[in-house]
């Protein structure tokens, strides 16, 4: 089993509900074990700013799936939850990103791990720190909390009640 981290986000429809369903779908087949899930964070859009705020979370999972199989599972879950093609960084019903896959570094076409924007995004780092406060970036050897401390100086996501 490989310890992995995934980021989840939504800014269309029942944002909190779809994140909860996505987490349940990840573990539904038994080949992924959901170990920890962060709270839900309301965050400003990144990339394209003229759209609704996102709700983001991070999950710690274990799986025997390969990184490629995990990506395929994530895309399958996105489609099942209503994700439709749209502009890069645009509005979406659900987004599931593989942030880290053990301590592996993967660069294989559409599969890049660690996630290439992992250390630039508060909406990823804040929930990731919640589930794994001592996590170290496998390429740089720097704790993700150190990246977060640098970025937080510009303002961070706000906490929202998961029930809302």
Which residues are known to be catalytic? 83, 92, 95, 97
- The label of the residue with tokens 């269309």 reads 12
Distances (CA, A) of 129 to 66, 77, 119, 146: 24, 24, 12, 10
Give the bridge partners for 136, in sequence order: 143
Contacts of residue 3, defined as CB under 8 A and 6 or more positions apart, other chains included, come to 35, 60, 61, 62, 102
Report yes or no: 159 and 143 within 8 Å, Cβ to Cβ: no
**DSSP conformational letter for 11:** -
SS (HEC) of 64-110: CCCHHHHHHHHHHHHHHCCCCCCCCCCCCCCEEEEEEECCCCEEECC
């Amino acid at each position: 089993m490989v310890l992995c981290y995934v980021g989840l986000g939504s800014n269309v429809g029942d944002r909190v509900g779809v994140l909860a369903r996505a987490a349940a779908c990840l573990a539904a087949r038994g080949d992924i074990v959901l170990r920890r899930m962060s709270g839900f964070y309301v965050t400003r859009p990144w990339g394209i700013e003229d759209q609704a705020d996102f709700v983001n979370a991070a999950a710690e999972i274990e799986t025997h799936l390969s990184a490629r199989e995990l990506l395929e599972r994530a895309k399958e879950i996105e489609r099942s939850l209503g994700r439709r093609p749209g502009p890069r960084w645009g509005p979406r019903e659900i987004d599931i990103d593989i942030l880290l896959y053990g301590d592996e570094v993967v660069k294989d076409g559409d599969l890049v791990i660690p996630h290439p924007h992992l250390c630039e995004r508060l909406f990823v780092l804040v929930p990731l720190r919640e589930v794994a406060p001592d996590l170290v970036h496998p390429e740089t050897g720097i704790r993700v909390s150190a990246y977060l401390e640098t970025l937080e100086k510009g303002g961070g996501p706000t906490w929202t009640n998961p029930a809302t």
